[in-house]
Amino acid sequence: MLKRTPPSGEPSGQAQVEAPPDGPELQPPDLGQTQDLPLFGMMAAAGAFFMLSSMSLFAKLLSGTHHPIEIAFWRNLIALLPFLVIIPLFGRGDIMRVKSKPGVVITRSIIATLSVICLFAAFALLPLADATALVFTSALFVPVFGFFFLGERVGPYRWSAILVGFVGVIIIAQPTGDWNATGVALSLAAAVLNATLATMLRLLGRTERPETLTFYLLFVGVILVAPIMPFIGTMPSRDEIGLLIGLGASGIFMQLFISTAFKYAPAALASVFSYTQIIWATLFGWAIFAQWPATHILVGAMIIIASSIMVILREHYLARKGKLARPAAGD
């Protein structure tokens, strides 16, 4: 029988929700009890998802002249640089130490590389708000994968929320031929891969620290994509240097903020702030690209958001009641 083991730094009884792995956390996690500061945690969560939206904006601005794989390479390389400084100068070799399941850590890093490539490609093909709304379905895939791969119980409430969420996807996609099938497919692929990453993090349990997972995510991403760069890479212009720096820096600050958010606020509460991305994506699309989402996009996004929040809150409730199974760290 699976038993629940709370993730590192999370008080017992809270549901685990993965912080998006888009930049390094520069401090070791606090493995002890942490006093909840919900307001501070919520502010950090709002900042984190603003940074994630900013990273998406930089990726879209670069997509006109650079391949999504190339953008992913630069994102990973720039975000990796602080690690390359901190590890030798501050003697932080422990960041590179994998305590268990190295195969899962590497596999997760490979999947994360594919995820960010799909995400950046989706932003190149779709308006920011459209792609962001579709990527929200990641929260709907997590309990499905938990049911099939981790043996977690998914009751009628969450199954109903999942089905309602996918109705929102159909509304956004407009299956009438008047839609970008490739962009929709890439957005949903990124959502599925993100849900896979969250499921794999549950398998890792308490054995690995966030900065270790982030280091290997970035390092493996650079190694995987580097051999392709001579064939697809183009020299960034002087104006694009700032965009590339913004791409990597927003990923770093996003991870720092999200780590703070999940440390000081309940996981379910911090996760709800991910939906502020649709606000930023809509504003960025309107102000920079003169793209305002159509009515069906907004309706579908609201349905997906409502159903996802129901999934998150239901999981949080079951975890507090001790009814949500989790694999033990050594399983």
Q: For the segment 100-125, what is each residue's pLDDT rounded down to a tens digit?
A: 889 988 998 999 899 999 999 999 99
Instruction: In whole angstroms, give the CA distance from residue 11 to residue 295.
Output: 41
Angle subtended at Cα 318 by Cα 315 and Cα 319, rounded to the nearest 5 degrees: 85
In a domain, residue 285? The reply is yes
Reported confidence tier of residue 271, pLDDT bands at 50, 70, 90? low
Contact 172, 130 (CB under 8 A): yes
In a domain, 147, yes or no: yes
Residues whose CB falls within 8 Å of the CB of residue 183, separated by 6 or more in sequence, listed in order: 122, 125, 126, 130, 131
In this prediction, residues 80-109 reach a mean pLDDT of 91
Please state the domain count of the chain.
Answer: 1
Q: Which residue has the higher pLDDT, 235 or 180?
A: 235
Tokens of 26: 């520069």
Quote the crossing angle between the two packed helices 128-135 and 156-173, to the nearest 10°. 160
Residue 292: which domain range?
45-320
- pLDDT value at residue 175: 55
> Is residue 25 in a domain?
no
Calculate the alpha carbon distances from 304 to 61, 133, 208, 308, 331 in Å: 26, 8, 32, 6, 33
Phi, psi of 288 (to 5 degrees): -105, -40
Could you report the per-residue pLDDT of 291-329, keeping only the tens digit for each?
887 787 788 888 878 877 777 777 667 667 665 544 433
* Any domain includes 75: yes
Residue 38 domain-assigned? no
176-206 pLDDT tens trace: 445 688 998 999 999 899 888 877 766 775 6
Query: What is the pTM for the complete model shown?
Result: 0.72
pLDDT, tens digit, 9 for 90 and up, residues 123-138: 999 888 888 888 877 7
User: What pLDDT is attached to residue 310?
Assistant: 77
Q: What pLDDT does 174 receive? A: 62
Looking at every residue in the chain, the average pLDDT score rounds to 77
Residue 52 has pLDDT above 60, yes or no: yes
